[in-house]
Structure 1
Amino acid sequence: MAIGCHGLSLEQGHHTIGKQKYSVSMIFKEALYMRQNLRDKPTLRGLQALLTMAYFSGRVGDDSTSSLLADAAVCAQTLELHSASAIEKQYNSSSEQQVAKRALWFLNSLEKPRCLAEGLLPLIHDDLIDYDPPSSASHSPDEVDWFAINARFATICYSIIRERPRGKLGRSSPRRGQGQASQHSASSTISRIESLLDEWRGDLPFASDTNATESNEFAALTCSERRHRIKCLNKYWSAVIATHSGQARVVVVDGGGGVGLSKERCVEAAQEILKNSHYITSTDILYDIRDTGDHDCGDPGGVCW
């Protein structure tokens, strides 16, 4: 699936690695065919395969990403990977147990941001997971644990998603005084979630840099470092937009006012995303074209078992 996603081209049906020539479309279709077996007979290794397929599918914007994540979620639920005791009963060795826990949290890290962006409800509920995310498999004390960073961001996304149904349309008209109460509640929710987001951003490995978002700082970075930094900052600002837009709808539905500040915050966040995108260079684009993807824990979205 990884080779298929990165090599698939409308102009070229075959791709060459070394001396081997293979049909890109055939490998892609074969991966999708295997997917049904992985879904129908859930195993931990099968779940890992589905997650790997979903990861690479998401990187290239393939339409099958959401359905792959749904299959992975069903597989994880069947294996009861949300429960530490169930994991201990199924897998004898501590290494297998760690792999199982990483698989669930990796699924969480992929699913929650996507659900937030697409307005979907997640299939994996954080409230049911009774253990903290483990460190990535290859993490060492002197390296950044992107697995933990992504898992933490996923929990914040879940908090934003969980607050959204309160603003659904079709609610009965609020009684007198309820509009102000709802507005106060929305303001409280925004403050709480923004606090979580600020803490997350403050713990990023580059947060202590004095000019973390200045053009000269970006120019001094390698393509990989620059891409990671921009990706993290854009994730932060996108979550800010999701938080304010969702809570503003709650206030409007409940007949309250005071959405101006949320609109201003959304505009500010959008401007920051555009400013960060301005720092992407032609070198970065060429790097992405020839790169087959960072599959280790150095990538903020990498596959880490």
Structure 2
Amino acid sequence: MLSRFETGRGFLAALDQSGGSSPKALQLYGIEPSEYSGDEQMFDLIHAERVRIMTDPAFTSERILAAILFEDTLGREIEGKGVAEWLWATKGIVPILKIDKGLRDEADGVQLMRDIPDLGDLLGRAKAAGALGTKERSVIHAADEGGIAQIVDQQFDLASTVLDAGLLPILEPEVDIHAPDKAAAEEQLKARILEHLAGLGDRKVAVKISIPSVDDFYADLIAHRNVARVVALSGGYSREDADERLARNHGLIASFSRALLDGLSVHQTDQEFHATLEASIAAIYKASLT
């Protein structure tokens, strides 16, 4: 599984909308808040959307390398199997678990991750369910050296715990694409990441970043012996814009959520749904091949 993640062709499908982002995700899918009541119904509906995506003929290991799952999904099933087990056994797609619990309020130009209660138990369940690794997101809004240092320190502290649990951490220090000093923030971020990588010994992490302002800016991270893979989020760009920017960055592959799901609707026929998803996957895959 690790070998496929490190060397396989394709991109990551981020199907990890959390409780906070699920209402908006359902609205984009054509389901209004008035059509369900409470978290249980909401999560049932978002799971039904994810199952429809994952079981679609377009969603295969030929173009999808891995899928990032929300914690609620981990305890659910597809065709009688746990979702993570089903993804790997049936589709050959690597399962990853989102473990962060959202963001703290902004300070020093960044939003650190909130504390993760019962982290040990969560990592144990991820390992038992068959996940290869985890994903954890924080956000950089400005090129503040102190704030960025805090972001990277927190990401690597958590990564150490994930590695000790036998899982591969995907660090996600997102740089806000609207930051006025985005390029400067990326320079500071990369420098701090490289410092921490030097202390990993033989251990590896993966990194999920915003598509950089300067093409091929993360080439040294992609080639680093302690980095299993570098993937990019769409970050608010349209799918077309994200694909075009991604294609200019050699070795960088997509890990898209909203850009992947754009245009899908609960009201589509299976044929319409498949055609929309097929077009999205084909475009993102092509952009991930450079």
TM-score normalised according to structure 1 size: 0.25
Structure with the higher helix share, 1 or 2: 1
Q: Which structure has the greater CA radius of gyration?
A: 1
Structure with the higher strand share, 1 or 2: 2
